[in-house]
Amino acid sequence: MNGVGTVLGIKARDGIVLAGEKRLTYDGFVLSKNVRKVHPITDHIGIGVVGLMGDAQVLLKMLRFEAKSYELQHNRKIHVRSMAKVASIILYSYKLMPMMTETIIAGVDDKGPQLFVLDPVGSYIEDKYVALGSGGPLALGILEKEYKDEISVDEASHLAVSAIEAALKRDAVSGDGIDLLIITRDGYKLKEYLFK
Amino acid sequence: MTGKITSKTTTVGLVVKDFVVLAADKRATAGTMVAHNRVMKIQKIDDHAAMTISGLVADAQYIVEQARYISRKYSLDMGKPISIRGLASQISIILQAYLRMNPFIVQLIIGGYDVAPHIYYVDLFGSLSEEKYIATGSGSPVAYGVLESGYREDLSLEEAKDLAYRAVKAATERDSYSGEGVDIVVIGKNLYKEETRLFQKKVVSL
């Protein structure tokens, strides 16, 4: 992989912001300028993935299935922590042939906004903000400086855009645009920016 | 992230009736990190010759110094400027001499005007070949797509500049290791002109 592209997640006081850039490369060649790396799993939980897009999309499908299955069996929405744990179990089950992904699972439930980070083999750690992939260290430089507890979703959206922008400019395999996934108590919203 | 700074690039050279046009992007990378975004990859060798560089930057810069020395020494000794073939040929001999021991990791286009415009392709193996149009670097497959469909020997200077620009621009769109802008150098009889076109990319809301 290893970490090609950039995604980040920010936990805000009233919700979650996930952001990712839009470039897909194979060995430097730009295969697509319009790939989504942040997705809603349900209307209250989202995922951000970098790495092998095939693995990422399979993981997304499995998680959507698990979330819906949980909802039908228990007649309530799955907790964010449980969703992250399910993802962790799936990733760990591929330990000997790991999915080439780095993942953020984040959302809002009755315990408020929460954000989890998972490595390729399923370790999961709760955090306030994180940036992954080849542009991750660049984005993290901005997040580290500007993040504060009690940040609002609006402020976090702006912060996410400027952090990804730093990665677009200085990471060769990130570029072309930004996708934002904003999750609040009222559901999710997708926003799109182009870099041209 | 760390390691030697190598420049994966796109460089283009073409010859039209009375001019040589060289063009290159402005991005330098170390791994996937953009190490510099205003690099000049077309180096002036003399008033009548220039060289585009790609490969290991340190090696390329050393070769540029050698080329300047060769060109200057020739004109002082002989009282006339060195021919482009002579210059390219001497560079290729240096590259070949070092090939088996510790090769210079470079791919070069040497272009200029002596009695007519010429460009030569030179690489670390000591290859030397005269071309009408050529592209080198990681973005070259994309650049060739544009050159192959647009090149004619009877192109005007403005058309040639535009073709070189479009070739490099297209490569920056599809090669991650090329970007930021395009430098263009035109060499003709008693003419050496540099020009830079930067991309003004911004984040725009959809």
- Tens digit of each residue's pLDDT (9 = 90 or more) over B5-60: 455 899 999 999 999 999 999 999 888 999 899 999 999 999 999 999 998 888 99
Please name the residues in contact with B6: beta carbons below 8 A apart, sequence gap of 6 or more. B29, B30, B55, B56, B57, B105
C-alpha B157 chain-centroid distance:
18
Taking CA–CA distances from B7, the nearest residue in chain A reads: A172
- pLDDT at residue B7 in the model: 56
Give B-chain residues touching A165 at CB under 8 angstroms.
Answer: 203
pLDDT of residue B4 exceeding 70, the answer is no
Could you list the beta-strand ranges (E) of chain A: 6-12, 15-21, 24-26, 29-32, 38-40, 45-51, 101-109, 112-118, 124-126, 129-133, 177-184, 187-195
Write out chain B residues lying below 8 Å of A168, CB-based.
Answer: 203
Nearest to A19 by CA among A3, A38, A33, A2: A38
> Across the 196 residues of chain A, what is the mean pLDDT of every consecutive 10-residue run?
82 98 92 96 98 95 98 98 97 95 97 96 95 96 96 97 96 96 97 95
Query: Between the CA of residue B189 and those of B53, B68, B72, B118, B165, what are the distances in Å?
Result: 23, 19, 18, 12, 22
Percent of chain B with pLDDT over 70: 97
pLDDT in tens, A111-160: 999 999 999 999 999 999 999 999 999 999 999 999 999 999 999 999 99
pLDDT in tens, B84-114: 999 999 999 999 999 999 999 999 999 999 9
State the nearest Cα–Cα gap between B205 and chain A, in angstroms: 4
pTM of the model: 0.85
With contact defined as beta carbons under 8 Å apart, do B180 and B9 qualify?
A: no
Q: Annotated catalytic residue: which of B9, B10, B11, B52? A: B9
- Indicate if the pLDDT at residue B3 is higher than 50: no
Site from B25, B203, B205 to mutate, A interface, most A CB atoms within 10 angstroms: B203
B204, pLDDT greater than 70 = yes
The alpha carbon of residue A11 is apart from the nearest alpha carbon of chain B, in Å, by 23
Distance from CA of B128 to the nearest CA of A (A): 28
Mean pLDDT of the residues in chain A: 95
- The answer to whether A194 contacts B203, with C-beta atoms less than 8 Å apart, is yes
User: What does the pLDDT read at residue A1?
Assistant: 53
> Nearest CB to B203: which of A4, A137, A195?
A195
Residue B1 banded pLDDT, cuts 50, 70, 90: very low
